[in-house]
Amino acid sequence: MNGVLDELKWSGLLAQSTDEEALSAHLDSGPVTFYVGFDPTAPSIHMGNLVQLIVARKLQAAGHRPLLLVGGSTGLIGDPKEGGERTINTREVVAEWVEKIRSQVSRFVEMDGPAGAQLVNNLDWTAEINVIDFLRDTGKHFPVNRMLARDVVAKRLESGISYTEFSYVLLQALDYRELFRRHGCTLQTGGSDQWGNITAGVELIRRSEGERVHALSTPLLTKADGTKFGKTEQGTVWLDPERTSPYAFHQFFLNVEDVKVIEYLKVFGNRSREEVTELDRANQEEPFKRAAHRALADDVTDLVHGREEREAATQAAAAIFGREELSTLPESMLSAVAKEVGGGVLDAGADLPTPVDLLPAGGVVDSKGAARRAVKEGGAYLNNTKVEPDRGEDPIGPEDLLHGRFVVVRRGRKTVGVVELRR
């Protein structure tokens, strides 16, 4: 088997391929130009998109050339989803998101060298196509009965699907043919939920060009309960640090389920097979050490945000839980931590609040009565300093405010909150 295909299989990144033996031979025959697409349905890419970028990185490392397509035209339409019709965004919004995503995806591949990646936008070739030419040159190759049989379309037929979303598959197939014509692209990659769209492009090239091209898909990663990976109670885990802070990003991977950590480490980590095997052993024999979780969180945060941001995130976590000095945390990091661990805002007048006021405001106890009990029992902390039993109802001082507005409250070892004071 081709080496990169073997690597993708071991990593759990190969779900389907058009013809694995033929694809293996094709990849062995020399550098292959391949593409993966990203539609601008939001101003940032997310964890599902990162899976595709990791596939692109592995293929590029094996000498193959990536085309990263950001869908300036397909983003105006929207791929059908099971939940119902997508909101159609304005051209201005889509154009803005295209530029943001182009900037994001380009950081994950090498742009120079013989296998240097190229960014492409499908609006470049669809903007000038008229309806008659599109129907004659592309639409005639798509039997409607096969379009109706696609899973997402079949599920939407009863509730309703617009012709706009129904026709999306034609546009994505057109992209593959256009990249085949312009760049000699002979492989498309994507998530398994895109398999119908991907193989439509393979079929269009066969019908209209008489050529054989290839496709592969990755499995959709899930949590142990089968729900979508990359979702939290707060929402999607984004790659944009303004939407998901490096601290929250690192914490997400640090807290993945034990039964899933090795699976995710193979996908997102930067470890040899021997290292992963050893981390798997440690995860089973000494799960309390969480060595695999730390390796996963560190590797993927380094990849997405860089080592410096990852080190700041780990320092912040240590400080919040009493192992490092809180005063060293930058205000931006403390603000990000506050959003992640929870807490509240307290309007303070001329007199600053007491620890008994702050503990419930930070969400670490339910009431002032519970706060008094925590103080009495010696389990209440402000900025990692134990609140002495006789000081629970004394106002804090200005020196207790981190960056002039934050107080970190803690009950016991693990229940933490951040209170922001407004004066």
Using CA atoms, how far residue 285 sits from 257, 326, 387, 397, in Å, is: 16, 34, 38, 47
Write out the DSSP string of 169-231. Answer: HHHHHHHHHHHHHHH---EEEEEGGGHHHHHHHHHHHHHHH----EEEEEPPPB-TTSPBTTE
Q: Is 172 annotated as a binding residue?
A: yes
Q: Is 231 annotated as a binding residue?
A: yes
d(CA 56, CA 321): 38
Nearest one of 227, 226, 167, 225 to 200, comparing CA atoms:
167
Write out the DSSP string of 148-161. Answer: HHSHHHHHHTTT--
Beta strands in 12-171 (DSSP E): 16-17, 33-38, 65-70, 118-121
**Cβ distance 186 to 32 under 8 Å?**
yes
SS3 91: helix
Q: Which amino acid is at 422?
A: R
d(CA 90, CA 76): 7
Backbone φ, ψ for residue 323 (5° rounding): -100, -10
**Cβ distance 174 to 69 under 8 Å?**
no
CB atoms < 10 A from the CB of 127, how many? Answer: 10
Q: What percent of the residues of the chain are helix, what percent strand, and what percent coil, each to the nearest 5?
A: 50, 15, 35
What pairing do the DSSP bridges indicate for beta strands 380-382 and 406-411? antiparallel
d(CA 370, CA 286): 35
H helix and E strand count, the chain: 19, 13
Binding site membership for ATP: which residues? 231
Binding site membership for L-tyrosine: which residues? 35, 168, 172
Binding site membership: which residues? 35, 168, 172, 231
